A and B are shown apart, each in its own frame.
Chain A
Amino acid sequence: MAIDFEFRKQVMDHHIGSEVIKYCYQCSRCADNCPVTAVTTDFYTTTGYNPRSNILNALLGYKDAIFAADELAIWGCTVCDTCDEVCPQNIELTEVFTFLKNQSIAQGKGPDFIYAQAKAVFDSAKAIPSQPAIERRRQQMGLPAVAAPDVNEVQTLLKNIGADKKLK
């Protein structure tokens, strides 16, 4: 398996406490406490979502092993941050997984839901755009109208950072 040193460096750079990720000794507390591992893996299988394998592959620079696998290997993460809390080495695993997900998107992969939400945010500056029926309901309940954000300003920021090019 090829080691991608650039990928390895990017993982290290993304992790705020970058030195601690090197201390992972594969104890598997992350996988043992992961709710998605619990429902996708049984004792006899090696498929399913596994945070421990992701950290190992990311740390060693095995980019192909991560991205050639079923997308569940990355997108199975439900972002509950439980692994971050149980890790004896204080590795912020979920931040590493964020980097892997960002890389997956840069390759045009990943769940439709993520693209749909990003598109809504780009178009309206809200993940859930305002709709007349809800606006009426707010009024009926005596709520003030939601303060409208500056959509142009948000779009400028997203374009300048290059996020619009990743939309489908």
Chain B
Amino acid sequence: MRKMTEYKMFEGCTIGNRIPFIEAASRKVFDKVGVQTSQAPFACCPDPTGVKSFDNDAWLVMGARNLCVAEAEGKDIISLCNGCTNTLRGVSHQLKHDSLKKDKINAQLAKVGKEYKGTIDVKHFVDVLKDNLDKVKGAISKQLSGLKVACHPGCHYMRPAEWMESDDPMRPTTLNEIVATTGATVVNYGEEILCCGSAVTNAYPEHGMANLKIKMDAITKAGADVICVNCPACFQQFDTQQRDLSKQYDANYNIPVLYLTELLALAMGVSADEIGLKFHRTRLSGILEKIG
């Protein structure tokens, strides 16, 4: 079979329609690393914490439809988001292991002229970068020496291991490894695999905040300059909720957040303006000064 070099880009609703600056940074990094992408008219993945909780069959049929869109072009998907990756891989998993579900979903897809076959793979961009680590290293032009980074890979990047098949689900290392290529220092803070609490915050803000406090206290204690993430839901939880967290606990949480591709873009010589870092809620001026 022909080796597929071009991926279908799945930017997802949050990045595409709310925080597109992350897509801008990701595209810059993909260009420099030689990862080719093209667009497709994908709908919502849909959300593995939202629509899946609402109706598993609705989640399956929409996820399968998206997979059909990529299958029609015979190209694998590259996802910029943990949730989208988790959904698209999870839908594939359910349909491949449960023939009753597959028949039910394909009967629905047939009515709109589609059929899920299971012929393409869904990759998280972190795993694609890991597979191209030498090219990532080669594209780094500015060492971020002295920058202390707390890595938060996020739950749905590696769990459940049963169908994510990426990193170690309880001792992840890939994000650390990629961040280290920039010359920055990865700090251990002991709560690396703790959830950001995004989903529970939507239903019970008080419990979400209590969870976020545990995470932020550990990151603060470790002396991190910045939190590095690879999921837009986690990004928003850290970037937008620190102010509320500070109010609620009468404290001062203000650690900036960078998406992995933003951190890499800076290390590859892209300017903060080009990738819209001014749209972050948390202040980045301190670390931008530090890395020069």
- A residues sitting closer than 8 Å to B (CB atoms) are 14, 16, 35-36, 38-40, 49, 72, 75-82, 84-86, 92, 94, 98-99, 101-102, 105, 110-111, 113-115, 117-118, 121, 125-131, 134, 137-138, 141-144, 146-151, 153-154, 156-158, 160-163, 166
Chain B interface, number of residues (Cβ within 8 angstroms): 67
Partner of B200, one of A76, A84, A127, A150: A76
Partner of A163, one of B20, B55, B159, B210: B55
Contact B27 A143 (CB under 8 A): yes
Q: Give every chain B residue within 8 A of A39 (Cβ-Cβ).
A: 207, 210-211, 214
A36 to B207, CA, bound (A): 7
Contact B56 A102 (CB under 8 A): yes
Docked complex: B92-115 residues within 8 A CB-CB of A: 93-94, 97-98, 108-109, 111-112
Q: Give every chain B residue within 8 A of A130 (Cβ-Cβ).
A: 16-17
Q: Give every chain A residue within 8 A of B21 (Cβ-Cβ).
A: 137, 141
15 new A-B pairs (CB below 8 Å) besides A81-B169, A118-B51, A163-B57?
A: A39-B214, A49-B207, A72-B204, A78-B198, A79-B155, A85-B161, A115-B54, A121-B51, A148-B41, A151-B43, A153-B65, A157-B112, A158-B61, A166-B54, A166-B55
Contact A113 B50 (CB under 8 A): yes
Q: Give every chain B residue within 8 A of A82 (Cβ-Cβ).
A: 155, 159, 193, 195
Contact A81 B159 (CB under 8 A): yes
Interface of A is mostly: helix
Contact A161 B98 (CB under 8 A): no
B14 at the interface (CB under 8 A from A): yes
Contact A35 B195 (CB under 8 A): yes
Residue of B nearest to A137 (CB): B20
A56, chain B: closest CB distance, angstroms: 21
A49, chain B: closest CB distance, angstroms: 8
B10, chain A: closest CB distance, angstroms: 11
Contact A143 B112 (CB under 8 A): no
Given A150-B41, A158-B58, the answer on whether A143 and B23 have CB atoms closer than 8 Å is: yes
